[in-house]
A and B are shown apart, each in its own frame.
Chain A
């Protein structure tokens, strides 16, 4: 007889299964709508960049019987050239989510812990907990990561500090002096992960570029992804960059061949002459934020708008109820209850006409 009680470790038994949203067709049928705008995952609706689109369209079927490069050889060469690093400083994963898991596996054993914020991207906390590693969560301060609280939360079993810069979902960020002070205080005693998933959206002059700090801080690990700005979320590809010694360790716990050939080629192409695409996306995000901020003024709703392609809005009702009402109008947003911001929603920026529809739906629903 199958004895799951005995087979399953306690930390897995108590873990919540993440339930991804249903396919669009199924949602449209349930909510009885003929279209659905996804403003819930911080995707880039302008994408993919033209060079990547060309690769995707032209991918020859004869290549599918052949395994991809197991360690994204060509892509790492391109990344190295672009950032002035050596290729062995990069580790490419099936989305940056996969490299989160590789880093935790590489450095944490039973009894160790990681430190991050309570209201940030959930996957750091999740991967730690289902691996049986304690996640110490420090409260945000004025919507931002609190460096002192994170430093104070450490003990001798702390292995990794996860900082999301800019933070999803609040858009807050540490400037260069704050980050340097933090890295100096850590002084190499822990690994510091700087998740820069939204780096390419940032236009602020004082925003630190983690890639430029790697020589000075060999314990620093920078995450980037092709899912956000480069609009390749469907292909699942992201990467980390760190000092060769640290990457050599993480590589040991990283699954090779986890990134498919099309994703590798499309990612490499996405970086080719990407300036115009990035500029167009940034313009869309800037205009989108202006529109959403105007909506918040019209409706008298507090909002939290920082860097990244998303805005948080405080709504005068349960966010989960608002979700259902907006879905019935073909607009999908992200509720923030699961991010420990009950009563808030997060909206991803999109083209003007889409956001116009979102604003109209908000008016209808909140005025009703």
Chain B
């Protein structure tokens, strides 16, 4: 994801370089359009990360990339790590002599707090930490709106015109509950920048008089899936506009590598007969109010089956879900049978502060998986994260084998996402977090 404007720095995990990294972050922040406050937060966040890495993998070669996005600045730290060193990626990781209250060990969490998103990924031996810092945009002036009668039939087109996109954001915000409108819509300038920058895609319904009748947005979720918000419909007669927008989305991703589309914030206007309900995540919003989230999906191609792994303890859940969804799978059982499991377990944590959500993804199996999970839950709960989720990719037997450790620690399987990873993904949620 480097582009020509990326600023790259090669260095070592050594605290001596903290001032240099801070300088780079501050300068890049300013040049790439962050305001002073955001640039300062970025400066503090990179300091935390470097200090953290210096303690946990001293002197490891690092590459720092700062890249301007359409509406944000991406800062990534990448480094190679042997399995034995990867445990450092656990947000609960601690140096040999660090006590649990030692804030230094919470460097990743602190960095997450200061940023607009923190993501950790591993691909073979290379590990990537990505910090997202959003540019500031003026908020939308609250306004009232009522659904109207369009002039003539609506036509459907890609959302490219900034004034129509901003109008659509304002109408969606006025007409739909906050919980199903992406926070970005309240800063329409960001939506325009993201669409024109190719990070977000949209469809608009426009009537003969040029009035915006509806809006829908989507973005890549993985290499083969997209997630969508909407459809948002502004006319009194809603079904035809909703259907047109949804068909536009399907047409846009048909004949591309996208295999499935999944809802992120579906509205009641979604033509449900065209989709399948995967389940409902009983989420809680940042203010503590209940915000259950339906997850709808549709295949873009014929699903001709897959092989997946499962642990016996998840078998009943999976069988029931596969049966209900009419998905054909060769389910192979896997469990620990007394064999030695080497090393320590590692989980990557991705954090979305505005949704009070932390997502754990297993990176490495280990005999201590249950303890590691307990530590993660304690730490995230004490940080106030209300929604703690785990994704298990059933293409990997070792991930499936983690089921008992998850169940022991209060996680429950909630939703099965077909083809959302290398194979299907099970979402587990911590109960009572």
Contact between A16 and B273, CB atoms less than 8 A apart: no
B251 touches A340 (CB 8 A): yes
User: Contacts of B251 on A, CB cut-off 8 Å?
Assistant: 118, 340
Q: Which one of B250, B254, B273 has the greatest number of beta carbons of chain A within 10 Å?
A: B254
CB proximity to A under 8 Å, residues B254-269: 254-257
Question: Which residues of B are found within 8 Å of A325, using beta-carbon distances?
Answer: 326
Complex Cα distance, B271 from A317, in Å, reads 10
Query: How distant is B222 from chain A, measured CB to nearest CB, in Å?
Result: 14
The 8 A CB mask of A1-36 against B (1 = contact, 0 = none) is 000000000000011110101100001001110000
Q: Is the CB of A335 within 8 A of B302?
A: yes
A337 x B250 contact (CB < 8 A)? yes
Q: Which residues of chain B are within 8 angstroms of A15 by Cβ–Cβ distance?
A: 257
Q: A317-B273, A324-B328, A343-B274 are in contact. Are A14 and B298 (CB under 8 A)?
A: no
- The answer to whether A22 touches B304, judged by C-beta atoms less than 8 angstroms apart, is yes
CB pair B304–A27 under 8 Å, yes or no, is: yes
**Contact A339/B254 with A318-B273, A323-B302 known, Cβ cut-off 8 Å:** yes
With A30-B328, A342-B247 already in contact, the answer to whether A318 and B298 are too (CB < 8 A) is yes
A338 at the interface (CB under 8 A from B): yes
Query: Which chain A residues in 306-331 approach chain B with CB under 8 Å?
Result: 316-318, 320-321, 323-325, 327-328
Is the Cβ of A338 less than 8 Å from the Cβ of B276? no
Decide: B302 and A342 in contact? CB cutoff 8 A: no
Taken residue by residue from 241 to 263, chain A's Cβ proximity to chain B (1 for < 8 Å, 0 otherwise) reads as: 00000000000000000000000
In the complex, are the beta carbons of A337 and B273 less than 8 A apart?
no
Q: In the assembled complex, which residues on chain B have CB atoms less than 8 Å from the CB atom of A14?
A: 256-257
Contact with B along A25-53 (1 / 0, CB 8 A): 00100111000000000000000000000
**Inter-chain contact B298/A328, CB cutoff 8 Å:** no
Main secondary structure of the interface of B (DSSP, over half): loop
Q: Please tell me if the beta carbons of B255 and A126 are within 8 angstroms of each other in the complex.
A: yes
Determine if B300 is an interface residue (Cβ-Cβ < 8 Å): yes
Least Cβ–Cβ distance between A246 and chain B, in angstroms: 28
Interface: B301 (CB within 8 A): yes
> Least Cβ distance of B118 to chain A in Å?
26
> What residues on A are CB-neighbors of B305 within 8 Å?
22, 27, 30-31
Residues of B within 8 A of A31 (CB): 305, 328
Question: Residue A122 at the B interface, CB < 8 A?
Answer: yes
- Chain A residues positioned under 8 Å from B313 (CB to CB): none
Number of interface residues of A (CB under 8 A): 32
Is B317 interfacial (CB 8 A cutoff)? no
By DSSP majority rule, is chain A's interface helix, strand, loop, or mixed? loop
With both chains docked as a complex, state the minimum distance between the C-beta of B157 and any C-beta of chain A, in angstroms. 11
In the assembled complex, A125 has its CB within 8 A of some CB on chain B: yes
Residues of A within 8 A of B257 (CB): 14-17
* 8 A Cβ contacts from B272-292 to A: 273-276
CB-CB under 8 A for A324 and B327, given A21-B304, A30-B304, A342-B274: yes
CA gap between A320 and B275 in the complex, in Å: 9
Q: B301 contacts A19, CB within 8 Å?
A: yes
For this complex, into which size category does the number of interface residues on chain B fall? Answer: 20 to 34
Least CB distance from A340 to B in Å reads: 4
Residues 170-198 of B, flagged 1 when their CB comes within 8 A of A and 0 if not, give 00000000000000000000000000000
A27: which B residues are within 8 A, CB to CB? Answer: 304-305
Q: What is the CA–CA distance of A321 and B254 in the complex, to the nearest angstrom?
A: 16
Nearest opposing residue in chain B for A40, CB measure: B302
Taking a contact as CB atoms closer than 8 A, the residue among A316, A321, A335 that contacts B276 in the complex is A321
- Write the chain A residue with the least CB distance to B327: A324
The residues in B between 235 and 251 inclusive whose CB is less than 8 angstroms from any CB of A are: 246-247, 250-251
- Most chain B CB within a 10 A radius of its CB, from A21, A31, A320, A327: A320
Closest to A317 in B: B273
- Tell me whether B123 is interfacial, beta carbon within 8 Å: no
State whether A324 touches B301 (Cβ < 8 A): no
Docked CA distance A231–B58 (Å)? 68
Whether B199 is near chain A, meaning CB under 8 Å from some CB there, is: no
Question: Which residues of A are found within 8 Å of B299, using beta-carbon distances?
Answer: 318, 320-321, 335, 337
Nearest residue, chain B, Cβ from A335: B302
Indicate the member of A323, A338, A342 with the most B CB atoms within 10 Å: A342
- Other-chain contact of B256, A16, A19, A30 (Cβ < 8 Å): A16
Within the complex, the shortest CB–CB distance from A31 to chain B, in Å, comes to 5
Tell me whether B298 and A30 are in contact (CB under 8 A): no
Q: Which residues does chain B contribute within 8 Å of A118, judged by CB atoms?
A: 251
Which residues does chain B contribute within 8 Å of A339, judged by CB atoms?
A: 254
B-chain residues with CB within 8 Å of residue A337 when the two chains form the complex: 250, 254, 298-301
Nearest residue (CB) in A for B224 is A16
Please, how many angstroms separate the alpha-carbon atoms of A328 and B325 in the complex? Answer: 12
B330 lies within 8 A of chain A by Cβ: yes
- Chain A residues within an 8 Å CB radius of B330: 30
Q: Which of A115-170 contact B (CB under 8 A)?
A: 118, 122, 125-126
Answer whether residue B303 sits at the interface, using C-beta atoms and an 8 A cutoff: yes
Measured in the bound complex, the distance between the Cα atoms of B327 and A337 in whole Å is 18
Contact with B along A327-356 (1 / 0, CB 8 A): 110000001011110110000000000000
Contact B298 A342 (CB under 8 A): yes
Contact of B275 among A318, A324, A327, A328 (CB under 8 A): A318
Q: When the two chains form their complex, are residues B303 and A324 in contact, meaning their CB atoms are under 8 A apart?
A: yes
Task: Give residues of chain A (83-116) contacting chain B, Cβ–Cβ below 8 Å.
Answer: none
- Quick check: A342 and B301 within 8 Å, CB to CB? no
Whether the pair A328, B250 counts as a contact (CB closer than 8 A) is no
Q: How far is the CB of B362 from chain A (nearest CB, A)?
A: 27
Do the beta carbons of B304 and A338 come within 8 Å of each other?
no
Q: Could you write out 13 A-B pairs with CB less than 8 Å apart?
A: A16-B256, A21-B304, A22-B304, A30-B330, A32-B328, A320-B302, A320-B303, A327-B304, A327-B328, A335-B299, A339-B254, A340-B255, A343-B274
Which chain A residues have a beta carbon within 8 Å of chain B's beta carbons? 14-17, 19, 21-22, 27, 30-32, 118, 122, 125-126, 316-318, 320-321, 323-325, 327-328, 335, 337-340, 342-343
Across the A-B interface, give the 3 residue pairs with the lowest CB-CB distance, nearest first.
A320-B299, A30-B305, A340-B251
Residue numbers of B with Cβ under 8 A of A are 246-247, 250-251, 254-257, 273-276, 298-305, 326-328, 330
New A-B contacts (13) at CB < 8 Å, excluding given A27-B305, A342-B247 = A16-B256, A16-B257, A17-B257, A21-B302, A21-B304, A31-B305, A320-B298, A321-B276, A321-B326, A324-B326, A327-B328, A338-B255, A342-B250
